[in-house]
Amino acid sequence: MRRLMLVGLAFAGLCGASLMLTGCVVVAPRPHYAARVWAPGYYAPGGVWISGHWRG
């Protein structure tokens, strides 16, 4: 009887743990966001100021 209760408790624990993990969703980042980088402002040849911008 004790063994049956132990097996039932272990089964309930495993079922509870698996139900708690069902809400986790892992999504790969969109390539559109991953490829963009921030380019800081700089002086181009001729003394022209190029302001910071997102470059993709």
Q: Who's near 24: CB < 8 A, 6+ residues apart? A: none
Torsion of CA 35, 37, 39, 40, to 10 degrees: 180
At residue 55, the pLDDT reads: 79
Mean pLDDT of the chain, nearest integer: 81
> How many domains does the structure of the chain reveal?
1
pTM: 0.38
CA distance 20 to 13: 11
pLDDT in tens, 23-39: 666 777 666 655 678 88
Element at 34 (helix H, strand E): helix 31-34
50 DSSP β-pair partners: 42
Mean pLDDT, to the nearest integer, of 40-47? 89
Structural domain of 35? 2-55
